[in-house]
Amino acid sequence: MASRSITLFLGRFLVGGMVVAAVSLIETRAPRISGLLAGFPAVFLTALLFIHWFGGKKEAMRFSSTALYGMFGGVLTVLTVIVGLMAQWPWPLVVVLGGLSYVAFVMVMVYRERRMHPHPS
Q: What is the pLDDT of residues 6-58, one digit of tens each?
A: 877 787 778 777 777 776 676 567 666 656 666 666 667 777 777 788 778 88
Residues 74, 71: Cα–Cα separation, whole Å:
5
For residue 1, tell me if it sits in a domain.
Answer: yes
Same domain, 79 and 109: yes
Kindly calculate the radius of gyration of the chain based on its CA atoms and give it in whole angstroms: 17
Residue range of the domain that includes 74: 66-121
pTM over 0.85: no
For residue 94, tell me if it sits in a domain.
Answer: yes
Same domain, 47 and 77: no
Residues 76, 4: Cα–Cα separation, whole Å:
34
Same domain, 73 and 32: no
Domain count, the chain: 2
What pLDDT does 26 receive?
67
Residues 95, 71: Cα–Cα separation, whole Å:
18
The yes-or-no verdict on residue 66 having pLDDT over 80 is no
Q: What is the pLDDT of residues 85-95, one digit of tens each?
A: 999 999 999 99
Say if CB 34 and CB 27 are below 8 A apart.
yes
